[in-house]
Structure formats: C-alpha cells, structure tokens
Amino acid sequence: MTTRERFPLHLRIFLGLAIGVVVGLLINRFWTPDVWASLSVNNPKAYLAGTAAPENDNASILAGAARLIASTTDFLGKIFVRALRFIAVPIVLFSIIVAVAGLGDPRKLGRLGAKTLGIFALTVLIAVVVASTLATTIRPGDGVDQSTRERLLADASVAGAKTLSGTTAASATSFKDQLLNVLTLNPFDSLARGDMLQVVVTAIILGFGLTLIPKERAKPVIDACDAITSAILELVRLLLRFAPIAVLCLITPVIATLGVDALTALIMYCFAVLLGMAIILFIEYPAVLWFFTRWAYAGTQRVGIARFFRAMAPAQLLAFGSSSSAATLPVTIECCEDRLGVPKDIASFVCPLGTTINMDGTALFQVISVNFLAQLYAVDLSFTDQLTIAALSILVAIGAPGLPSASVVMMVVPLQAVGVPIEGLALVLAVDRLLDMARTVVNVSGDAVAAVVVAASEGRMTDPPTGGESKSS
Ligand code: ASP
C-alpha cells in the first residue's frame, strides 16, 4: 500500500487543518508583542509587512526567520486562492452551458420533463429557505468579537472586498437596477471582470440558445464545453492535491488571529450544515412524499417514509461512501426501479437528469457556508445579498457535476458576488469531506423523491417487484 493510499486526500487535508490549528493556537497564545520586543522588533506590523521602520532596525535573526516563515506561508496560501479564482469563471461558464443545453429543446421536454423540473425546483427552493433560516438563526460564524473579525478581514488583504465585487458595488442602486445589471451589455467584459452573476446569466442564455438550434449543430459546441469542463475538473483534482499544504498555510493565520473562537465557529458551522441536511432528509422529503403520493394523488400511489428509506438505503450508503452522485447513479436507478417500484422509463429519465442538475444538499451547503464565512469576516449581508446567495447557490448546484468536492471550489461564485473573502474557503475545505458525504446522500435521495413524485403523478407507482429487497442489498 502506497503512502498516498494509506493517507487519502481527505486525511491529509485534515492533517493540514490539525497542524494549522495547533500552530495557530500557539501563535495566538504565546507570540505576544513582548516576544517581538525581545527580538528587537518594536513595530511588528511594519516588520511583517516588510516596511522600513527605524524602531525595527536591530531586529534579530530569529525575527527574520519568523518573518520568512510568515511570508512564505502567506505566499503559498495566496497561490492556492489565485488558482481557485482562475478556475471559477471558466468552470461556471462551461458547466452551466452544458447543464442548460443538456435539457434539450424545452418545448419538446413534454409533460414528464415539466413535472420533473417542477419537483426539482420545489425541493431546492425549500432547501435554500431551510439553509438561509438556519444560517441566520444559528449564526455559526458569530461568537468571535467584532474587532478580531475586522482584523481578520484586514488580514485577508481584501479589506473592502465588498465594494470590489461588481454585484455589491451596485447595492447603493435600486433593486430594479441590480436586476437590470445581471444582464450584461457585453459578456466578454463580464468574463474579464469575473462578475459571477453576469457570467451565470450569460451561461444560461447561451445554453438556452443551444437548445433552440438543430441538435446536430449544437452537439459539437456542447461536447466542447463538456470536454473543457472535464479538463477543468481534472485541474481541480490536481489543485486539491495541494490542499493539505494550502489549508495549513491559510488556516494558521486565521487561528492565530481568532484563537479558540475559530474552532468553536467551525464546529457550529458543521452542526448547522448537518442539521440542515437532516431537516431535508427526514422532514422535507417525507413531507413531499406524503403530500404528493398520499394527498395530491388520492392515496392510490402511497410511498411511506419507511418504504422509501428501506428501498434507497444501498444508494444512500454508496453516496455516503463515495461522495459522488454520478458514481452512485446506476445503484440509484436500480433502487428506484427494483426496490421502490418506479417504472423503468421514469427512473431512467429522472435520475440521470437529477444527478446532473438536482442537488438540494449542495445548494443548502453553499448557502450556509457563504453565510458562515460572511459572519466570520464581519461582512454584512443585505436581504438582496441573501437572495443573490440563494440564487447563485441553486445555479452552482445545477452546474456542479456529481463528483467528490465538486461544488466546494465553485463556492467562489457566491462568495465573490457578495464580497466575502475567498480565503475563508480554507476553513470550509478542511471539513469538506464529512459535509460532502452528507450532501451527496441528500442529493441522491432528492433524485429518488423526484422520481417517485413524477411516477405517482402519472399513477404509475407499483409495488416493488422484489418486495423492497433486491440484488443490491
Ligand atoms: N459530491 C457532490 C455529489 O456528488 C457534489 C458536491 O460537491 O456538492 O453530489
């Protein structure tokens, strides 16, 4: 067994987090201004920034070493953040074009298609409402005092990021102007400026345009966009190899500034996300199933919660283990058909489409994470910002492929749109493995819920041929 196999990526990232936390806490606790003074540094801020200051002229060699470590850490962290920014615009553009164009001609989608999109929309809307409510009531990023948070924002070297972002710079203007503003006058300008909202809208429009021309003409373009998306995802995979070091470099200064408060905030954040997932899985989905299979369709097509969970368990477990709804797809389809009683044609239409565009867990995760980081960095979010986060999170969920950690780097989109420093992504990355497993279970279950609802609405749910037990168990 190679070292790489023995220490899979998520363990290495976690190790980066652990070392960063310990070093950060030690710095926070013991590296006081007195320590700097003992190293003949009387203006640490200027010294660390490399600005000339006469009171630091006699700085010792040890102080020089400390500064070198700090600046190297800062440099490595910045490279990683720049790489994320590099990826953000193209991946959003191409993956959303593929997702929208892949729907085909909306006029030809037909009744099943319309019902499927309707139930996808309903469940994801509920998910983002749950997410916004949890994020703004639990407020996982609070509990750090205001002055420390402002210091953190300044350290992120993006102080004033809010005004740098195209979207939020417009907050002073009216809501109507902001709405108008999402429709760019020049898509190339939006791409060059990295205005995420405009890029997303541009991608949707282009994707829609592709559905209007003959299939054979659209196909090469869609294939090219798809290939570029795959290439970028490969780059993301490569980039994630450096995540352990990057997380270490990015997290150390955060913990050094925030101390133990940051850890409490991180635990509260995981709690909020997992609670949100549990609400979707155990309250939203059963309620949707109850409403559509018992009430709306007169009880003839009943699918109870117990039957649903018993039938979907293999797919849910695989989703949990693999963090990939795409890899789970064959088992999802099989569970829907053989164990739930969804007819073959409906399962093999709804599930693949759902794997591509229906990701309630991902949308919930994005909304809570962006709110968490905004709270941590003391970035105030207006109601319009919340709407922007919700809308972009849904679009990221539509665009994200069903692969491990696929959506975490795409969080750059809502973060940038509302002016939250993307350096904070290090914190999210550090705990992403666990949250990814949970959101993939929700994503896969959401597809099965949609398949059942569509089948029930057609009056076509049957008793499962294998009585709820199948070859896959
Ligand atoms: N891993 C998720 C999935 O496969 C996607 C994500 O990263 O949110 O559904």
Q: What is the pLDDT of residues 275-286, one digit of tens each?
A: 999 999 999 999
Cα distances (Å, whole numbers) of residue 214 to 101, 219, 379, 424: 12, 9, 47, 44
The mean per-residue pLDDT over the stretch 442-463 comes to 91
> HSE-up of 102 (CA within 13 Å, CB side)?
20
Of ligand 1's atoms, which has the minimum distance to the CA of residue 359? Answer: 9
The mean per-residue pLDDT over the stretch 41-56 comes to 73
User: Rounded to two decimals, what is the model's pTM?
Assistant: 0.78
Cα distances (Å, whole numbers) of residue 256 to 70, 175, 261: 11, 39, 10
Q: Rounded to whole angstroms, how far apart are CA atoms 320 and 106?
A: 33
Pocket of ligand 1 (CB under 6 A): 323-325, 359, 362, 400, 402-408, 436, 439-440, 443
Pocket test for ligand 1, best of 366, 436, 437, 444 (most atoms within 8 A of CB): 436
Of ligand 1's atoms, which has the minimum distance to the CA of residue 443? Answer: 9
pLDDT at 171: 43
pLDDT at 169: 39
Compute the distance from residue 66 Cα to the ligand 1 centre, in Å: 39
Compute the distance from residue 432 Cα to the ligand 1 centre, in Å: 11
Q: Are 260 and 25 in contact (CB under 8 A)?
A: yes
Compute the distance from residue 159 Cα to the ligand 1 centre, in Å: 31
The mean per-residue pLDDT over the stretch 85-96 comes to 82
Q: Are 89 and 191 in contact (CB under 8 A)?
A: yes
pLDDT at 155: 63
Residues 6+ positions from 332 with CB-CB distance below 8 Å: 312, 315, 319, 325, 351, 355, 444, 447, 448
pLDDT at 4: 63
Is pLDDT of 468 > 60?
no
Pocket test for ligand 1, best of 351, 443, 444, 447 (most atoms within 8 A of CB): 443
Of ligand 1's atoms, which has the minimum distance to the CA of residue 323? Answer: 1
**Which of 113, 8, 73, 217 lies closest to 450, judged by CA?**
113
Q: Ligand 1 atom 3: the closest Cα is on which residue?
A: 402
Max distance between CA atoms of the chain, in angstroms, equals 85
Is pLDDT of 211 > 50?
yes
The mean per-residue pLDDT over the stretch 235-255 comes to 84
Q: Rounded to whole angstroms, how far apart are CA atoms 421 and 81?
A: 10
What tens digit of pLDDT does each residue of 355-413 get? 888 999 999 999 999 999 999 888 889 998 999 999 999 988 988 888 888 888 889 88
Is pLDDT of 120 > 70?
yes
The mean per-residue pLDDT over the stretch 125-143 comes to 93
Q: Which residue has the higher pLDDT, 273 or 105?
A: 273
* CA-based torsion, 208, 210, 213, 219: positive or negative: negative
Pocket test for ligand 1, best of 236, 364, 405, 428 (most atoms within 8 A of CB): 405
Token digits of residue 100: 């929208």
Task: Please tell me which of 126-140, 239-253, 314-328, 422-436 the model is most confident about, judged by mean pLDDT.
Answer: 126-140
Pocket test for ligand 1, best of 324, 410, 425, 435 (most atoms within 8 A of CB): 324
For the chain, list the domains and their CATH numbers: 73-457 (1.10.3860)
Of ligand 1's atoms, which has the minimum distance to the CA of residue 405? Answer: 7
Q: How confident is the model at residue 265 (pLDDT cuts 50, 70, 90)?
A: confident
Q: Are 89 and 250 in contact (CB under 8 A)?
A: no
Compute the distance from residue 401 Cα to the ligand 1 centre, in Å: 7
Give the percent of the chain with pLDDT over 90: 26
pLDDT at 25: 86
Cα distances (Å, whole numbers) of residue 464 to 240, 269, 352: 42, 39, 20
Of ligand 1's atoms, which has the minimum distance to the CA of residue 404? Answer: 1
